[in-house]
Amino acid sequence: MASVYAVGDEDQWSSQTNYATWADKHNFSLGDVLVFKYVKGQHNVYEVRENTFRSCETSSGVLAKYESGEDQVVLNKVKKYWFICNIVGHCLGGMRFGIEVKEDSNNVISSMDGGLNQNIQPTPLENSCISQRWSVVEKFFPFGIGLLLFNLYF
């Protein structure tokens, strides 16, 4: 199940929030969605490369720009994502964070299940017949005698 994260929680995307702390609270998986909410024009969201994240210098290393005020970013790659606000001073002031998106652990488990199930052989008919017979024998005879009869006849 994909999760939807409101960046900054109730503080939203603003210059008063420590986003490194916010990002560290969560584990992000493939398919999760980040929602950046802010007053359009007061902030924006740039997805950038790590160097740009560190320098806050956006003449290069910008991968995507969002500025609607309610930007939804689907984390559709297993990689590190770096986000900053590109309004002057905001990135240096703390409007930036990096996250590492991992493969969804649920997906990993279910794909492993699929693999395992493919290797499971159906129970041989012979065995299931024997165990059916055994349960019949067991119903009508005390254990020792039942076992004896079972061994004799089957």
φ, ψ (nearest 5 deg) of residue 73: -115, 115
Q: Which of 45, 85, 99, 137 contacts Cu ion by CB under 5 A?
A: 85
Distance, in Å, from the CA atom of 136 to the CA atom of 19, rounded to the nearest integer, reads 67
Q: How far is the CB of 94 from Cu ion (least distance, A)?
A: 10
30 vs 43, beta carbon nearer Cu ion: 43
**Would you count residue 90 as binding Cu ion (CB under 5 A)?**
yes
Q: Which of 34, 45, 84, 95 contacts Cu ion by CB under 5 A?
A: 95
Q: How far is the CB of 119 from Cu ion (least distance, A)?
A: 53
Angle between helices 143-153 and 125-140 in degrees, nearest 10: 140
Q: What is the dihedral of CA 100, 35, 88, 91, to 10 degrees?
A: -30
Q: Choose among 121, 112, 113, 99: nearest CA to 28.
A: 99
35 vs 87, beta carbon nearer Cu ion: 87
**Would you count residue 87 as binding Cu ion (CB under 5 A)?**
yes
Binding site for Cu ion (CB under 5 A): 43, 85, 87, 90, 95
